[in-house]
């Protein structure tokens, strides 16, 4: 399966189990996770990344991301599981 089989170029989002999943949601999650894990990020940057991750969790769960992939960092995984 190719990305365009899931979301054609003309479509920017789909709804799965009531959660709106936009193109780029997984990539944004990965970018925000990198910020959250960063050692040289400010508290404000980490809080912003945390808020963005929290907002994306319903869509990521509806997509089934965490059913097939596990977050390797214990603290981030525990935070995600708690939210």
Inform me whether the pLDDT recorded for 46 exceeds 90: yes
Q: How far is CA 8 from the centre of its chain?
A: 20
- Alpha-carbon gap, residue 52 to 79, rounded angstroms: 13
Average pLDDT of the segment spanning 10-39:
92
Distances in Å between the Cα of 54 and the Cα atoms of 5, 22, 27 are: 27, 15, 14
Q: Looking up tokens 């960092």, which residue turns up?
A: 73
Please state the domain extents for the chain: 3-82
CA 4, CA 13: separation in Å to the nearest integer? 12
Which pLDDT score, from 0 to 100, does residue 13 have?
A: 87
């Amino acid at each position: 399966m190719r990305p365009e089989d899931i979301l054609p170029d003309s479509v920017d989002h789909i709804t799965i189990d009531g959660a709106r999943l936009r193109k780029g949601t997984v990539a944004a999650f990965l970018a925000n996770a990198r910020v959250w894990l960063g050692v040289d990020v400010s508290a404000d940057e980490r809080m912003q990344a945390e808020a963005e991750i929290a907002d994306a969790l319903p869509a990521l769960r509806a997509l089934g991301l965490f059913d097939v992939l596990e977050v390797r960092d214990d603290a981030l995984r525990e935070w995600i599981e708690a939210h």
